[in-house]
A = this chain, B = another copy of it.
Amino acid sequence: MLTQPIKKFIEIFSALPGIGVRQATRLAFKLIGEGRNRIEEITQAVSDLRYLKTCSQCFFVHQNKDNICDICRDPKRNKNLIMIVEKETNLISIEKTKKFNGLYLILGDLSKSGDLDSGKKLRLNHLKHLIKKEGQVEEIILAFNPTTYGDLNASIVVKELQGFAKKISRLGRGIPTGGEIEFADPETLSQSLERRS
């Protein structure tokens, strides 16, 4: 009864995180009801994501002509201080505190097994390579969620980075244990940054 374009839309959108079949179905009819111009606008918004590039140093998204993002190219940022975050939204939360002026590495979604997949190993090796050029950095901050999985992954990453920094720290437990970085307010995050241990 549903025509092919709707079925396809539901199939694709219900596979995205946080959207189920029911919501995808509603979305489809909502968009159809809003008409061609609106559908074209949304099409464009999705399509434009194609032009985004990933920074070759920290792996954050950017639109610069070369392969370096605005944060990594900023001469005012402290290259001796590197924060490793799980995902882009965590970097954004930290930037909002305006209390961190080092550089980042986005590692990618942490696994629950604690194993580092090839993608994460590649990124860590890339960081090691960058650090080796300079010798050793002052500090690496692991900004993983203070959860079991975060702790597990942190202990693995600490081993991997042994010798690459004078100090390897984690964000202070100003963030409620069991919570997520994404949901912390800037003040709590600032506290956790100042009290890192």
Contacts and interface: CB of A to CB of B under 8 A. Distances in A.
Interface of A: 1-6, 8-9, 12-13, 16-19, 22-23, 25-32, 36, 39-43, 45-52, 54, 61-63, 70, 87-89, 92, 95, 182
A18 B23 contact: yes
Given A1-B95, A12-B41, A26-B89, 5 more contacts: A8-B48, A9-B45, A22-B182, A31-B49, A43-B46
Contacts of A29: 61, 87-89
A50 B36 contact: yes
Contacts of A95: 1
Nearest to A9: B45
A61 B32 contact: yes
A92 B12 contact: no
